[in-house]
Structure 1
Amino acid sequence: MSVRTEALPYRHVLTLPAAGAAVRLARQTTEDVLIDCGVDLGHPSVGPALLIVAELVTNAVRHAADHSPTVTVTYARGQGAFACAVHDRHPYQPALYGSISAASGGGLATVVEMTMELGGTAVVRPDADGCGKSIWITLPL
């Protein structure tokens, strides 16, 4: 699956304090956005999408809160694809492929593995100033 996320027409942006409650709110908002986009909650990508957003927001809260008082979740939807990105201002740019195995318990590795199993894509996009990043996940619908 190769989708240019910037070309997806439907966008919703959610900015939250980098605190534990952000995870629950991001997950609920993900479900609400999917419903607003007309996605059947029984679709095979919905459960993984909810888990992926929760894991990425958890990682941002856990590892980036000192550098990033807020976490931003961006949602995009187009023909046959749903994308979400979690952004923080921590400068660390994680390697998504090959460096961590899901067997070792790495949450990010699990996110990438689920994404790939569904035929989706995962990329890290650094901020222009190098002091933050967005992790974009695209799933087929």
Structure 2
Amino acid sequence: MSGRLDALPLRHVLTLPAMGPAVRIARETTEQVLTEWGIVRHHPAVDPALLILSELVTNSVRHAAPLSPNLTVIYAAGQDTFAFAVHDRHPYQPPLLSAVTRTGSGGLGTVMELTLGLGGTAVVRGDADGGGKSIWITLPLRTPSHKA
């Protein structure tokens, strides 16, 4: 996966205090970045991406802030792909796939349902020192062609 992400030419990084306003700021920044990159607001992946991002940032603010006073959102895109990660310095790595099978799991269940529903991928990548992690979401931007 890292090779695929390395090939994405567009990059942006946002670092924020792990506090309530981070969710709004991350969403607004995402909208600005996507516009700058030519990804139209009404693209079918944009609203789900904003919701996924909001859930991940909310989780960092709620659960990681005591160990991670800041969080970082990393954006990357190419012609057919939009990827983003939320990184914090809390060592817990949530099991994303089990979030799919839990009913009423909320946050991560929603993240996984939306990501997989769009044909995307989600992965947790731990920091080399074991003291933090990034949750990467990769979403396709191409829209399926409809044949008559």
TM-score range, shorter chain: over 0.9
Aligned to 2:86: 86
Deviation at 1:5, TM superposition (A): 1.5
- TM-score, length-normalised on structure 2? 0.90
Distance between the aligned counterparts of 1:39 and 1:109, measured in 2?
26
Distance between the aligned counterparts of 1:101 and 1:57, measured in 2?
22
Question: Structure 1: which 5+ residue stretches go unaligned?
Answer: none
Query: Contact between 1:96 and 1:122, CA under 8 Å: does it hold in 2?
Result: yes
Aligned to 2:41: 41
Query: Contact between 2:12 and 2:33, CA under 8 Å: does it hold in 1?
Result: yes
Distance between the aligned counterparts of 1:139 and 1:99, measured in 2?
18
SS at the partner of 2:98?
coil
Distance between the aligned counterparts of 1:115 and 1:55, measured in 2?
12
Deviation at 1:98, TM superposition (A): 2.0
Query: Contact between 2:100 and 2:113, CA under 8 Å: does it hold in 1?
Result: no
- Relative to structure 1, the CA distance from residue 81 to residue 118 in structure 2 (aligned partners, 3 Å threshold; closer, same or farther) is same
- TM-score, length-normalised on structure 1? 0.94
Question: Structure 2: which 5+ residue stretches go unaligned?
Answer: 142-148
- Relative to structure 1, the CA distance from residue 118 to residue 102 in structure 2 (aligned partners, 3 Å threshold; closer, same or farther) is farther
In the alignment, residue 29 of structure 1 is paired with which amino acid? Answer: T
Distance between the aligned counterparts of 2:100 and 2:67, measured in 1?
23
Aligned CA-pair RMSD: 1.7
Query: Contact between 1:100 and 1:106, CA under 8 Å: does it hold in 2?
Result: no
Aligned to 1:14: 14
Aligned to 1:107: 107
Q: How many residues are aligned here? A: 141
SS at the partner of 1:4?
helix
Whether 2:30 is the aligned partner of 1:30: answer yes
> Larger Rg: 1 or 2?
2
Distance between the aligned counterparts of 1:17 and 1:99, measured in 2?
26
Deviation at 1:25, TM superposition (A): 0.1
